[in-house]
Amino acid sequence: MNDERAALLDAPTQARAWPGGGAVNPQIHLAAAAAHDEPLPPLDAAGRAWAARLQPALHAVAQALIDNEATLTELDTAAGDGDLGASMYRAAQAILALPEAAYATPAGALAALGAALRRAIAGSSGPFYATALVRASRRLAATDDADATAQPSARDWAAAFRSAVDAIGELGGARAGDRTMLDALVPAAAAFDRALDHDRDPASAWAAAVEAAEHGAQQTAGMTPRAGRASYLGERAIGTPDGGAVAVACWLRALLPHIR
């Protein structure tokens, strides 16, 4: 194998039996998220306050994924390998299994969640979600390190969200328009930023992000997949929304009541 042959293997094609799996950027090197297999230290007062906010929000995400398992399975069966619903169910169980001590800080909670999803989710979704969460965690870590009691601003969360979305694109080589989870994530992050630029409160800005994600997910029904396992279907996938994008819209909406 050399670069020339690799380029030929990755060249665009509509051949039905050739899965265009996308490209992995070899320049991206990310440290593995901490496994949190060892007992975490007890929560102090600040940690308990964060846990009281973060744990219910992530449990809402888990419940939404459980409730939508059948829908995600149906979508992925029509235009994929049919395992998305089961993967998101395993993700939900991993979230529910996180100990309360994992929620001591926002950055720590995202890192713990990334580690849990990396182990729980089979296929490409696990690395993508884990990488995104680690990147977002690092973006928030400076706020945590400066003051454990400090509350990240909406702008801090927006920057972390953008970092997470960028990480997925860099790792997988996909972009908006390729009929992937990015078709929900990219417009959601952009809408959140725009709403904050117009001085909307965080909850209202997140509502705009959810609406953009849901619209983006539905738009994938008219797209020919150019990345991921669905790409071998070509135009035959048209008519069914991408399951990964729908899953993103699902968990973004689940977070909405917890944004303030």
CA gap 199, 8 in Å, rounded: 48
Q: Quick check: 209 and 195 in contact, CB under 8 A?
A: yes
Q: What pLDDT, on a 0 to 100 scale, did the predictor assign at position 124? A: 81
Q: Quick check: 179 and 226 in contact, CB under 8 A?
A: yes
Mean pLDDT, rounded, of the chain: 86
CA gap 157, 136 in Å, rounded: 8
H-type helices in the chain, by residue range? 3-9, 45-67, 69-78, 84-97, 106-120, 125-146, 154-172, 182-197, 202-219, 243-255
Model confidence at 48: pLDDT above 80 = yes
Q: What is the pTM of this model?
A: 0.82
The mean per-residue pLDDT over the stretch 48-73 comes to 98
CA gap 83, 90 in Å, rounded: 11
The mean per-residue pLDDT over the stretch 45-49 comes to 94
**Least confident piece of the model among 20-24, 104-108, 223-227, 234-238:** 20-24
pLDDT, one tens digit per residue, over 76-118 is 988 777 899 999 999 999 999 999 999 999 999 999 999 999 9
Domain boundaries of the chain, sorted by first residue: 42-258
Q: Name the token pair of 241.
A: 């929304």
Neighbouring CB atoms inside 10 A of 152's CB total: 18
pLDDT, one tens digit per residue, over 108-162 is 999 999 999 999 997 789 999 999 999 999 999 977 665 655 689 999 999 999 9
Q: What pLDDT, on a 0 to 100 scale, did the predictor assign at position 15? A: 57
Backbone angles phi, psi at 258, to 5 degrees: -105, 0
C-alpha closest to that of 113 among 38, 99, 124, 175: 99
Instruction: Kindly report the CATH number that applies to the domain delimited by 42-258.
Output: 1.25.40.340
